[in-house]
Every structure is written in structure tokens, then in C-alpha cells.
Structure 1
């Protein structure tokens, strides 16, 4: 993984680089913070996590097949599934998560520059990345991810959010609110409106800011 910096403006990436040479992301790392939880020097065993996690999802689907859509057992089993996936993240050290920002293309260069400043000066998390193209054709936004090393460390997750607010990059009444997602769900292909009924995001800006 090659880490790049704020001097490569992402808004121009689509136009100045042949598509086959363009990396999907520009990255920047925080040299003052360990990227992973508990002082780990590696991102954990995501292959083992993915294998066991997908087995849990398969078992969950098989179990609820005979349940009516409004059967309360579905909710109970879903909560059990969430807990079991959470236990696997700890077991295999897959605890990285990220705040997800969606600046417009016309704003992404400035937002990325300021995010990079925040990472370099240790105001934000362990790393950040920005997409070099729109995620969906015709989407006028780019995705910026600001990483923390442990999604279960709510104090640190909120610290990074508070820093984004203080830097003027995030407000509670943004037209498109930002959310926090753990990488573990990405490894398991759990996105919005997934077939398991799991909420893809772990934290939202409004509820977290109201925690004081």
C-alpha cells in the first residue's frame, strides 16, 4: 500500500492520469500513531476473520429462513449475530474503523488538504484516504475516510469527530451526514440495505455529538 499526500489533488486525478494508471485511493498515514489496536504491528488476521464471519452470516440466514418476517426472533438472532461478529473482531484483531465524509468534487481538494493537515499534526486518527474518482457514475461527491484504530474505543472515535468539527469539516446539520463504519463489516460485504438487516454504520454524527 503506497501512501500519498495532499500535494496530489484528487479532483484532478480523473482528468490528468490515464485510468489504467490511476490508483483508486490517495492515502496519508499518521507517523505519530499506531495504525492498529493494542500496539499491534499488523492489521490483524482479516482472512480468518472473514472466513469465520461469513460462516456466521450463512448460519444466520439458514436459521431465519423459516421465520416469519415480523417474528421477533429475527431481531433477537440479529443481536446475537452482531455480538458474535464483534467477538470475532477482537479475536482476530480486526478493529479498524473510519469516519466517512462525502465532499463535492468542487470542494474535495480543500477538504483533503485539511484532512491531511489534521492527520500530519496528530489531530485526527491513524490515517486517511480519498477516492480518486466518484464511487457511482454521476455522483457529484468523493469519499474521504478518516481512520481510527479501534471502533470499540468510543472515546477516541468521538475525539476524531470533535476534531473534524473543530476544523470546520463537519457540522451536525450537514446536508449529507457522515457516519462511522468498521472495516470488519466491509470485509464481510455488509453495506446499506444488506440481506441480514444489520445496520452498516456503527455511529452517526448527530447522536455522537449529543453525547457531550
Structure 2
């Protein structure tokens, strides 16, 4: 059974066939995929392809590791904090250049609905993706993560350095009623490139693992940060 919406499958049939809320209770664990996927039928690529066969992750990781090593060496020899901040800005830009060169520039806005709400939220996301209003695709976790009953829905954009497109997708999520400007925590945007390089919160490079935040972006800033 495919865990992805098939090319000519009606959206209603896909949602009925694979409701995420009941997945861990109706499917044996050894048969349960980690994610259910939907691709934007109007896009030329998909995040699922980038997760598997698309992009040269190994080449990107190798080139990115060299960049990180250069930053560590330069930062270790520099006592001027302002200079180190400058190195960090260059590092972030060069990671973006490499990600596009090797085809691993996808990123995602992340939603964490409760299990009781996940079907409704996933339906709204799928309708937006299928109509071409959101990004290149989306996925939903089929069970809670690490003991947390909340599910994860990722809404992908093609290029994390394309701030206008990242903002466009955020605005679409707002229009769908899935994000509000006054949400206490908002939602965050992460890029897969940082994950491939092992860059997480509190990393030694001072890069923000969550590149953009909905609260900052909707308030008029782009909500990203090159520093901590």
C-alpha cells in the first residue's frame, strides 16, 4: 500500500485511505511507514524525491563539512566578536549556495497538531498542496514522536534561501487558518541542509537551526537568524 497520494488518486480517497490519527492503531508497527506524503501536482519536483533519490546529499555533506571546518579554524584565531559574526554570515550564505548546487535546498514549516486534531489539520494542508497554494509537498507523521502524542506535519518549500517563497507559504497557512500571528510560540521553519550537516539548536557555529519563525515574519521581519 502506497504511503503517498497517487498521481490520479482523488484527494478524498487518499485522505480516507490513510487517515493519520488512526494509523498506529490500525496498522501493525512493522508495516507502518513513518510518514504519509502528498506532492504538489503543479510542481516539477517533490520533497519526497529529495529525501530519497533527488539531490547529492553525500557531496553536499562533504563540501559542507569543509566549510564548517574552515569556520571553526577562522573563529578560533579571531578574538573580535564582530569579525566572528561576519564569518558566521558568510558561512550561512555559503551553505545556501552549496545546498542549491547539490539539490538539497528544501526546507519546511512545521506544525504540531494534537492527535485529536491531526486529521483535520492534515486535510487542510493536503487541500492547499493539491491546489498548488502551498509548497512543493507535505508529510505527516503516522505516530507521536518520542513519547509526545502530538504529530508533526511538514510543509515543504523548494529553496530555503528564497525568503519570498517561504513567506508566501506561511501566508497561505495563515489563510487556511492553520497559523495565527498571535500564536504564543508560533511555528518554525527548518532546512534539511542543516540536518545533513548535523547543525541543531545550540550548535558551535552560532547558526539558528530554526531559520525562520512565523511570529517574527508575520510581524514584518524575516524571522531568521544567522546567530544564536
**Same-fold call, TM > 0.5?**
yes
Q: TM-score range by the shorter chain?
A: 0.7 to 0.9
Tell me which residue corresponds to 2:102.
92
CA RMSD of aligned residues (A): 2.5
Gaps (5+ residues) in structure 1? none
Tell me which residue corresponds to 2:131.
121
| Greater mean alpha carbon deviation, residues 102-111 or residues 146-155 | 146-155
Corresponding residue SS for 2:84 = helix
Tell me which residue corresponds to 1:178.
187
Are the aligned partners of 1:35 and 1:148 in contact in 2 as well (CA < 8 Å)? Answer: no
Are the aligned partners of 1:102 and 1:176 in contact in 2 as well (CA < 8 Å)? Answer: no
Tell me which residue corresponds to 2:31.
21
The whole-number CA distance in structure 2 between the counterparts of 1:144 and 1:155 is 21
Gap change, CA 1:66 and 1:152, over 3 Å in 2 = closer
Displacement of 1:175: 3.6
Are the aligned partners of 1:103 and 1:141 in contact in 2 as well (CA < 8 Å)? Answer: yes
Is 1:3 aligned to 2:12, yes or no?
no
Are the aligned partners of 1:105 and 1:140 in contact in 2 as well (CA < 8 Å)? Answer: yes
TM-score of the superposition, structure 1-length normalised?
Answer: 0.86
Is 1:202 aligned to 2:203, yes or no?
no
The higher-RCO structure (CA 8 Å, 6+ apart) is 1
TM-score of the superposition, structure 2-length normalised?
Answer: 0.80
- Deviation per residue, 1:63-87 (Å, 9 max, x gap): 444666x844432332222122122
Is 1:187 aligned to 2:196, yes or no?
yes
Tell me which residue corresponds to 2:70.
59
Report the number of matched residues.
207
Displacement of 1:153: 2.2
- Deviation per residue, 1:105-134 (Å, 9 max, x gap): 211111011111111111211100011122
